[in-house]
A and B are shown apart, each in its own frame.
Chain A
């Protein structure tokens, strides 16, 4: 007979067993849980008057988490930086700061930081590492960096000149090169100012200006004004929904690569239906617009005539507008044609400013530079390369075979805070100070008041004694190479202070303190002017539906992990993705109809294969993707990037073949891929797991029509 658990026994067990368990669970409600003598506390040796333990002091500095160059204020308490916020005195970010900027603290305090120089696997001292570089270096050294500006860029140029005239490759996977090329061709100014706040309507062709494009925090702040009392209308045309797309009033899915066709189609409608003149457009544009009939647009992009009319109507009735586009040169140029037709140039697009010491300006990173580097390295033209601020072994398209190219370089020196896929291939690794430990000046990507550049100052002492700032390393290398006029400077701080003092015309301490307090300094600058347009040629891609079993892959960029550089920050891995709400893993966005056609459902594992690579990830069905497309966000899939990033998710960039845009030389971010189910299925962990509210009205909604009627009633009664 088995023990019978009847009602009486059940209650007995629950009563007495439970009482014991409950008492044990109390963990002795006593004083024992509070610590005595477990932690240590240090006092100041000699106190600074403004330093009070327990009270934070805010210092101004500059954010280096992306190339936008926002100003920050950092709270420092007991010698440690504790919190970052936007600097309200800057025109760029106006006191705002994005999640990547907030997470700079985790870059700084990251437990995976490199703390000592090393040669191969062996930790060495700085003199040993520098002697090794001197001994093994061959030929004029090249530099492979991210976007870089300010006095670091000046020193970098100095080093290149002094050491034999090597090349500087500035690489940035998420960039606006196509837009800049189109602006340069049509306006004679590659970096005009864009006034989101002054527009009444915005039309974006794949330029995620609220998420990752050029200076997202600036655009977000301006977008707040755009959506203010006179509510502007946002239309977004793109193959996979971005953060900007998710904010749009009208979101249009276009087949990957066909955005230019839609833009020219809208121009066609404006010209034919609304009589907007195209005679003033550059040569070549008029023909391209005339050729893009509604039928042709539908054939290339899948966007119908009604949608084109609606987009054109919105632009016509909400003036001035702003049209932006990126991803390919044609898209950007077609967007610029719309701006010219609608008279936006001069209204929402105004000339930028040129810094007078032009060598301070930003060297904007591109993927063309990476292609050039791979070519030069592959041909054996590079003997020594210094790599910093970029991780080509991770971000390069799989088809580029960047590792072979890197291995062809005689001596590879990485200046890095973290071990990553690129430092693993390098012969010498030099430990870099974090952005909160270093000095510098940075030229914002856009949006600064004329000639204003942001100053970066250390918020705290270096966490590790052996790390060095980028400026200090550049100065040391330049001095070593015998550059003129640098011998007197003991460190980069001295160099920077002298340079900034020359800029403000005084060497007095209060003036320098004022610069540090403001976090910015006024450099001499002059406004650029728009020039007449030359001829343009449009090579509109012949986009069509993929063959059965194939899809167009889009590698999408997200604010957060960005191009993968922030994958080692747990805050950003943990922050739900803006579109899928997924955390700590990769996924592939597929339109529900496409998924149904392939027999796929949410959580199904699929392999995505191209000629360049193969990845395995999970399906996330989502209507914000064109039915011909499969979208995989980049940033995850690190094989060697510390404890938080390694082994998390997959890297879609490995599927790209390295095809370059004909006009800009940028890598395209699309590829044709084969998709196959593996048969496995596992739930994708997402915040807000469902789109349904199960009748609970968690978020109350009304239809747009109803809203308009309410507004009309309000105005009627007022």
Chain B
């Protein structure tokens, strides 16, 4: 008689792969829930949203990261308390695809006269840069991927300049459609997800173009 050999158990391949699949799925779902928590926080955007007639504006509860900047520039102070039009500083928005950061010369235009370097430490930083011939290196808050062509000019044209019920003085409301209310935020922060889904929703609601190559060119 041949000796009884202990039967080797075959490695359970099928179960292993299935278990790995379940674990993978749990990790992904869990990750998404955590993500949901991060973006589901309290939004400082006003309940009513931007006041833009003739437009269906997107709603979202996204709140971006705090992005440290070389100078703690406050939108709340400038655009809110002092009520300076967005387009006064972001002057390229109506002429170009990018809104542009205002040239340092524009900042200094006011700050050599009011709220000068002697009075405010943040303005002192700016003055030092101006005098040494350097622009501040701002950290980009709203950063579109390179394969997306978004034009500020086109959107301002539709919602602000071609909109009979909008006054240019209220440009802030139009900007808020994609940027949230910067007055509430203070130092700039990303307040809308600016994902393709976000763009598409708005394009559908406002009869924007739907062909791929309009943005991905």
Contact A13 B17 (CB under 8 A): yes
- Rounded to whole angstroms, the CA-CA distance of A36 and B192 in the bound complex is 12
> Any chain B CB within 8 A of the CB of A52?
yes
Q: Per a CB cutoff under 8 Å, which of B13, B35, B137 touches A32?
A: B35
Residues from chain A with a CB closer than 8 A to the CB of B22 are: 16, 20
Shortest beta-carbon distance from A151 to chain B in Å: 32
Contact B193 A42 (CB under 8 A): no
Chain B CB count within 10 A is highest, among A2, A16, A31, for A31
Contact A45 B103 (CB under 8 A): yes
Which B1-56 residues have a C-beta within 8 angstroms of A? 10-14, 17-18, 20-25, 27-29, 31-32, 35, 39
Q: Which of B59-67, B75-83, B162-170, B173-181 contacts A (4 or more CB under 8 A)?
A: B59-67
> Any chain B CB within 8 A of the CB of A503?
no
Which B176-206 residues have a C-beta within 8 angstroms of A? 190, 193-195
Shortest beta-carbon distance from B148 to chain A in Å: 10
Contact B190 A54 (CB under 8 A): no
Shortest beta-carbon distance from A389 to chain B in Å: 35
Contact A24 B25 (CB under 8 A): yes
Q: Per a CB cutoff under 8 Å, which of B18, B39, B64 touches A17?
A: B18
Interface size on B, residues (CB 8 A): 54
Contact B104 A21 (CB under 8 A): no
> Any chain B CB within 8 A of the CB of A28?
yes
Q: Per a CB cutoff under 8 Å, which of B65, B96, B97, B103 touches A44?
A: B103
Residue of B nearest to A46 (CB): B105
Residues from chain B with a CB closer than 8 A to the CB of A44 are: 103-105, 135
Pairs across A and B, CB under 8 Å, 14 listed: A3-B11, A16-B22, A35-B143, A36-B141, A37-B67, A37-B68, A37-B139, A38-B140, A38-B143, A45-B135, A53-B98, A53-B100, A55-B96, A55-B97
Residues from chain B with a CB closer than 8 A to the CB of A12 are: 14, 18
Residue of B nearest to A32 (CB): B35
> Any chain A CB within 8 A of the CB of B101?
yes
A55-B103 in contact given A13-B18, A44-B135 (Cβ < 8 Å): no
- Rounded to whole angstroms, the CA-CA distance of A41 and B69 in the bound complex is 11
Residues from chain B with a CB closer than 8 A to the CB of A43 are: 100-104, 135-136, 138
> Any chain B CB within 8 A of the CB of A687?
no
> Any chain A CB within 8 A of the CB of B92?
yes
Contact A41 B138 (CB under 8 A): yes
Shortest beta-carbon distance from A41 to chain B in Å: 5
Contact B195 A31 (CB under 8 A): yes
A23-B138 in contact given A13-B17, A53-B100 (Cβ < 8 Å): no
Contact A9 B14 (CB under 8 A): yes
> Any chain B CB within 8 A of the CB of A704?
no
Contact B24 A23 (CB under 8 A): yes
A52-B143 in contact given A12-B14, A37-B68, A43-B104 (Cβ < 8 Å): no
A34-B145 in contact given A12-B18, A40-B138 (Cβ < 8 Å): yes
Contact B67 A42 (CB under 8 A): no
Residues from chain B with a CB closer than 8 A to the CB of A17 are: 17-18, 20-21
> Any chain A CB within 8 A of the CB of B125?
no
Extra inter-chain contacts (19) besides given A16-B17, A36-B64, A37-B140, CB under 8 Å: A16-B22, A20-B24, A23-B28, A24-B28, A28-B32, A31-B62, A31-B193, A36-B140, A36-B143, A41-B140, A42-B137, A43-B103, A43-B104, A44-B135, A46-B104, A52-B100, A53-B92, A53-B100, A54-B100
Contact A21 B24 (CB under 8 A): yes
The interface bits of chain A over 247-268 (1 if a CB of B lies within 8 angstroms of the residue's CB, else 0) are: 0000000000000000000000
Contact B139 A19 (CB under 8 A): no
> Any chain B CB within 8 A of the CB of A39?
yes
Shortest beta-carbon distance from B65 to chain A in Å: 5
Contact B96 A52 (CB under 8 A): yes
- Rounded to whole angstroms, the CA-CA distance of A645 and B28 in the bound complex is 44
